[in-house]
């Protein structure tokens, strides 16, 4: 469901290597191997699904091989994991074919996900990414042979980006391109169960036409639409799916496949191939689709208006973006809801139903897209219960007092949502996801432990719980493995005994019952469904078993709850998110159905009916299984790639080659770079350069001789050093509750024949050998809102100590930094305070004892942090390493201004997303009470950054900076900085 970059892929691999140990299970990894698959998992509790996943994989791959005439370049690695509470998938094919599968049930909110068997569906979807980016034309295959594999782009050697494009050109395409074809094909492979035939997508574009909203163009979608819109990255799916489906309808599915296919006659770049297939520029076709979409949605709006459209009264003056379930407090006349919209942190708030004023009660850490958090209300106790870590990781349970706003955590790694309070005994009921299964759990007061009441078999998932006012009946939406969707009720007494017997209240066929909740008298259930293609509100009478429509919406209504004075409170969809509204309870006799674009494709292009992948049960798994047992990374090490490199060493250039060896999951990685400098100005013993590095998380072992670096070719900062260095690094998290982390780092090193200090290029040394050891503890808790380009608030600190063992003497120094971000009233604008102090316990006359400050630190071409002036050792306006300090105190004050977004600045192959200004001022005082010159330096400066995107997914930043430094009894100095940061 997302295309993984190499950092995400390696993180998934590292998590896999430690997850079992962290959970207290056997730390071994396990392998299930077929002709085309290496399925790796880390927990025996996941074994029940392995064969089904393998069958789904083989079944999907067989379909794609037929459709695209595709043969995988190597076996495809699938990592089965349980790192999050909702199912998901991610794919990479560079440098190897890798799919990460989250095994938990999907998040079905607003029917943004299909009600399909999830392993089968994930294989349908993710393997499209593999085929579209791994399939090689003859030219690609030649470069793969030349480089001995598909080259992964790395910022260490940015020339690798060129090699990567030559070996895997279709990897370099916009995300909407990847997701559009994956969603399109998954729908037909599943027999029509998919988002091409989904009501949510129709609603999004129908609303844009109704509200006369601007459609993002082909460049603006990725540069602006996936960042400032409340739906963020989901816009890639929405626009990509819609555009691809329109192409199939207008020009035929066969032509569509020709665009995505990579064969001998195809063009490398995706937009060039589009023009070759369709005979027009991509931008022209995009404009034609937008014009068609307006006409299509105008027709659907006419159909809706054949009957009177429901009138409502908005509660708030603005849309609330994504919203949770809400609750009406009739005493205080409030609506409690969680919301997440641009420029405001996700939060739980109390909305005055009379004035619409919103009072934020508490923030929500880790909000989910669309539903933000699972929210429940205990009216008797005046408490709201909600979940955190909803987007990633395992959810916690918290409560907040509706009057004071005081919040506290009740349960950690609770892994449950769909919360509801049983008013009879004030217990909380919830749906917990664990090991791929759904369980109904109960948390009695004081909410410090849960009881597992009922675990459903794989293939049955429940969500949207509610409990009757008297506590006797539990209702839920039930989705089954065959796609059936029902509204069901269970007796709570039976559930407490582990009895899962349920009664079906209503069969909703191809649409989910959404958020059905009880009326105050317990007779009715109010909810929503895309029963007519438009999400309308419905009332189910528990006595007569009759389902009545209550609205006729032009956009869509969701999440109804009984309101004040006999009315309903619900949320109407708008292009900016969901708007809370009140509306009367009126039964509708007639509601007109709309037409889906996907249905028109079925009618006009019947070939898609033949694109059904069939059942995975038809796969003879025994015939293709090759191995089942323990996975040993070392036994699967193989050559990933070899390619030429250009390096810098001092003021000379070097040429050489880089070799990468990895196991298929990336748990073990070895790299070797060897280069030679032909510059005769260098001594003979400095012309050969070698760097070897081995990584096995959390360890990194590195050895280098006359270390060289590509970025030493460009600019003032040099990291290459004469001599030999051997280092061992360890890094691990003591706390990993993102965004809150606490990381510990250690390093030991041995250095021989260096002519400059390892950290300070302008400080010479004459020591033949020395050793050092360093340790650091780093805390970070920074957050950003939708639409931000950088973190906007929070706190971070670092404590570090380093000791150098030189001539039988230990020279130690320590420093501490603090970063505090204070949001300003201007959206996306922050005032930062960054104090730092440092002290050395060594002899000030020894250079190993001291700190050195100066300069921006950015090279003309760079891969370090963009805003290097934030580093404790930076001091723009003075020369690098110019300020020597045995002890120091430093303060940086920074004001980051809101970024300026560009709607269309460039082309698909090269465009700019945004520009942002930062203003800063620094002051440092040094060498108090030591025998070194005291220096007091002040500076003021500014930096402007431009985000650039090359080949659709290679992000870089172009920066310009200027600073003036002032110091008593010295002339002022200035510095100009220009830098292009490669890969983010």
**What are the tens digits of pLDDT across the range 903-920?**
888 888 899 999 999 999
Determine the pLDDT at residue 4. Answer: 54
**What are the tens digits of pLDDT across the range 581-617?**
999 999 998 999 999 999 999 999 999 999 999 999 9
Q: Which of 487, 484, 525 is nearest to 503 (CA)?
A: 487
Average pLDDT of the residues in 484-491: 95
Report whether pLDDT(253) > 70: yes
Question: CA distances (Å), 529 to each of 218, 280, 506, 569, 576, in order?
Answer: 32, 40, 12, 16, 21
Determine the pLDDT at residue 483. Answer: 82
Determine the pLDDT at residue 114. Answer: 80
pLDDT band at 241 (very low <50, low <70, confident <90, very high): very high
Distance CA 79, CA 63 (A): 21
pLDDT band at 21 (very low <50, low <70, confident <90, very high): very low
Q: Would you list the DSSP string of 664-685? A: TTSSEEEEEEEEE---TTS-GG
Determine the pLDDT at residue 587. Answer: 96
Determine the pLDDT at residue 26. Answer: 55
Average pLDDT of the residues in 653-668: 94
Q: Would you list the DSSP string of 219-276? A: THIIIIIHHHSTTTTHHHHHHHHHHHHHHHHHH-HHHHHHHH---TTS-SSHHHHHHH
Query: What global pTM score does this model have?
Result: 0.94
Average pLDDT of the residues in 386-412: 96
Instruction: Name, in order, each residue with C-beta under 8 angstroms of 603's C-beta and a sequence gap of 6 or more.
Output: none
**What are the tens digits of pLDDT across the range 82-114?**
999 999 999 999 999 999 999 999 999 999 888
User: Which pair of structure tokens corresponds to residue 315?
Assistant: 């509660």
**What are the tens digits of pLDDT across the range 534-555?**
999 999 999 999 999 999 999 9
Q: Which of 381, 454, 379, 472 is nearest to 416 (CA)?
A: 454
Determine the pLDDT at residue 6. Answer: 45
**What are the tens digits of pLDDT across the range 551-588?**
999 999 999 999 999 999 999 999 999 999 999 999 99
**What are the tens digits of pLDDT across the range 775-827?**
999 999 999 999 999 999 999 999 999 999 999 999 999 999 999 999 999 99
Distance CA 193, CA 219 (A): 30
Distance CA 188, CA 196 (A): 9
Looking at residue 357, the DSSP 8-state letter turns out to be -
Distance CA 108, CA 324 (A): 13
pLDDT, averaged across the chain: 94
Question: CA distances (Å), 172 to each of 152, 155, 169, 293, 642, in order?
Answer: 12, 16, 6, 28, 20
pLDDT over 90 percentage in the chain: 90
Determine the pLDDT at residue 326. Answer: 98
> Helix %, strand %, coil % for the chain, to 5?
20, 40, 35
Q: Which helix (H) or strand (E) holds 580?
A: strand 577-583
Distance CA 679, CA 651 (A): 9
Average pLDDT of the residues in 140-169: 96
pLDDT band at 73 (very low <50, low <70, confident <90, very high): very high
pLDDT band at 23 (very low <50, low <70, confident <90, very high): very low
Report whether pLDDT(431) > 60: yes
Q: Quick check: 125 and 182 in contact, CB under 8 A?
A: yes
pLDDT band at 2 (very low <50, low <70, confident <90, very high): low
Distance CA 537, CA 531 (A): 10
Determine the pLDDT at residue 115. Answer: 76
Distance CA 143, CA 311 (A): 62
Average pLDDT of the residues in 500-520: 93
Distance CA 109, CA 907 (A): 35
Average pLDDT of the residues in 195-215: 97
Determine the pLDDT at residue 386. Answer: 98
Residue 608's DSSP bridge partners are none
Report whether pLDDT(13) > 90: no
**What are the tens digits of pLDDT across the range 269-295?**
999 999 999 999 999 999 999 999 999
pLDDT band at 212 (very low <50, low <70, confident <90, very high): very high
Report whether pLDDT(720) > 70: yes
Q: What are phi and psi of 832, to 5 degrees?
A: -115, 135
Determine the pLDDT at residue 10. Answer: 47
Q: Quick check: 80 and 88 in contact, CB under 8 A?
A: no
First to last CA, the chain: 22
Average pLDDT of the residues in 322-346: 97
């Amino acid at each position: 469901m997302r295309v993984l970059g190499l950092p995400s892929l390696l993180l998934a691999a590292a998590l896999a290597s430690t997850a079992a140990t962290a959970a207290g299970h056997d730390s071994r990894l396990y392998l299930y191997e077929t002709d085309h698959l290496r399925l790796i998992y880390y927990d025996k509790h996941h074994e029940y699904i392995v064969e089904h996943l393998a069958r789904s994989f083989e079944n999907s791959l067989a379909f794609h091989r037929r459709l695209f005439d595709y043969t995988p370049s190597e076996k495809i690695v699938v990592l089965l994991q349980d790192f999050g509470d909702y199912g998901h998938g991610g794919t990479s094919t560079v440098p190897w074919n890798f799919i990460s599968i989250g095994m938990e049930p999907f998040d079905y909110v607003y029917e943004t996900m299909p009600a399909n068997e999830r392993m089968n569906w994930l294989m349908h979807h993710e393997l499209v990414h593999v085929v579209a980016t791994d399939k090689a034309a003859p030219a690609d295959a030649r470069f793969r042979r030349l480089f001995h594999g598909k080259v992964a782009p790395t910022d260490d050697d940015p020339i690798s980006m060129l090699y990567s494009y030559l070996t895997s050109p279709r990897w370099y395409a916009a995300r909407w391109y990847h997701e559009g074809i994956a969603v399109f094909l998954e729908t037909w492979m599943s027999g029509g169960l998919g988002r091409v035939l989904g009501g949510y997508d129709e609603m999004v574009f129908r609303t844009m036409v109704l509200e006369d909203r601007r459609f993002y163009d082909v460049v603006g979608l990725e540069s602006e639409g996936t960042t400032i819109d409340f739906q963020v990255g989901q816009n890639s799916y929405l626009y990509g799916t819609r555009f691809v489906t329109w192409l199939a309808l207008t020009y035929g599915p066969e032509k569509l496949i020709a665009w995505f296919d990579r064969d001998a006659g195809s063009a490398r770049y995706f937009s060039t191939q589009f023009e070759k297939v369709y005979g027009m520029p991509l931008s022209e076709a995009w404009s034609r689709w937008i014009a068609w979409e307006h006409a299509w949605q105008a027709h659907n709006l006419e159909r809706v208006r054949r009957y009177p459209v429901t009138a409502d009264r908005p509660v708030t003056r603005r849309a609330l973006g994504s919203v949770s379930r809400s609750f009406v407090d009739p005493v205080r006349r409030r609506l409690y809801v969680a919301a997440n919209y641009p420029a405001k942190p996700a939060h739980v708030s109390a909305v005055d139903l009379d004035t619409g004023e919103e009072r934020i009660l508490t923030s929500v850490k880790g909000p989910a897209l669309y539903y933000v958090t699972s929210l429940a209300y205990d009216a008797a106790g005046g408490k709201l219960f909600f979940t955190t870590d909803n987007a990633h990781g395992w959810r916690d349970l918290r409560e907040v007092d509706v009057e004071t706003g005081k919040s506290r955590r009740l349960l950690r790694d609770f892994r449950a949502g769909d919360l509801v309070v049983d008013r009879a005994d004030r217990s909380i009921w919830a749906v917990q996801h664990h090991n791929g299964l759904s369980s109904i759990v109960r948390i009695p007061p004081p909410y410090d432990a849960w009881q597992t009441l009922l675990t459903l078999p794989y293939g049955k998932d429940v969500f949207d719980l509610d409990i009757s006012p008297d506590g006797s009946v539990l209702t839920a939406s039930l989705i089954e493995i065959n796609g059936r969707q029902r509204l069901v009720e269970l007796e709570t007494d039976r559930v407490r005994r582990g009895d899962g017997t349920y009664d079906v209240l209503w069969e909703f066929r191809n649409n989910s019952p959404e958020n059905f909740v009880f009326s105050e008298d317990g007779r009715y259930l109010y909810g929503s469904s895309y029963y007519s293609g438009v999400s309308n509100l419905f009332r189910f009478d528990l006595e007569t078993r009759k389902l009545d429509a209550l609205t006729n919406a032009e956009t869509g209504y969701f999440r109804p709850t009984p309101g004040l004075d006999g009315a309903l409170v619900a949320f109407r969809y708008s292009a900016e998110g969901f708007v809370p509204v009140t509306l009367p309870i009126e039964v509708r006799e007639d509601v007109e159905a709309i037409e889906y674009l996907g249905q028109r494709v079925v009618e006009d292009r019947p070939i898609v009916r033949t694109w059904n992948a069939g059942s995975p049960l038809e796969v003879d798994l025994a015939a293709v299984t090759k191995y089942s047992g323990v996975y040993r990374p070392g036994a699967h090490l193989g050559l990933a790639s070899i390619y030429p490199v250009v390096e810098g060493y001092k003021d000379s250039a070097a040429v050489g080659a880089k070799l990468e060896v990895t196991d298929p999951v990336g748990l073990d990685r070895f790299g070797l770079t060897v280069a030679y400098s032909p510059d005769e100005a260098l001594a003979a013993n400095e012309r050969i350069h070698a760097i070897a590095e081995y990584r096995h998380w959390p360890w990194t072992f590195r050895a280098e001789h006359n270390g060289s670096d590509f970025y030493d070719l460009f600019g003032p900062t040099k990291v290459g050093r004469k001599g030999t260095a051997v280092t061992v690094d360890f890094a691990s998290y003591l706390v990993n509750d993102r965004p809150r982390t606490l990381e510990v780092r250690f390093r030991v090193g041995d250095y021989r024949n260096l002519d400059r200090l390892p950290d300070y290029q302008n400080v010479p040394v004459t020591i033949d050998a020395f050793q050092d050891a360093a340790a650091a503890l780093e805390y970070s808790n920074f957050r950003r809102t939708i639409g931000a380009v950088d973190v906007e608030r929070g706190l971070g600190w670092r404590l570090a100590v380093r000791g150098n063992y030189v001539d039988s003497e230990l020279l130690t120094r320590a420093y501490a930094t603090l970063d505090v971000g204070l949001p300003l009233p201007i959206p996306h604008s922050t005032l930062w305070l960054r104090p730092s102090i440092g002290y050395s316990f060594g002899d000030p006359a020894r250079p190993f004892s001291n700190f050195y400050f100066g300069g921006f630190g950015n090279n003309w071409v760079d891969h370090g942090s963009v805003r290097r002036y934030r580093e404790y050792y930076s001091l723009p306006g003075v020369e690098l390493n110019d300020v020597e300090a045995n002890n120091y105190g430093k303060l940086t004050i920074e004001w980051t201004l809101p970024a300026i977004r560009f709607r269309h600045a460039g082309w698909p192959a090269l465009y700019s997303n945004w520009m942002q200004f930062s203003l800063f001022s620094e002051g440092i005082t040094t060498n108090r009470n030591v025998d070194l010159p005291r220096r007091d330096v002040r500076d003021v400066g500014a930096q402007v950054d431009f985000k650039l995107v090359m080949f659709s997914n290679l992000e870089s930043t172009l920066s310009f900076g200027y600073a003036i430094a002032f110091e008593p009894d010295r002339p002022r100095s200035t510095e100009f900085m220009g830098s292009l940061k490669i890969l983010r």
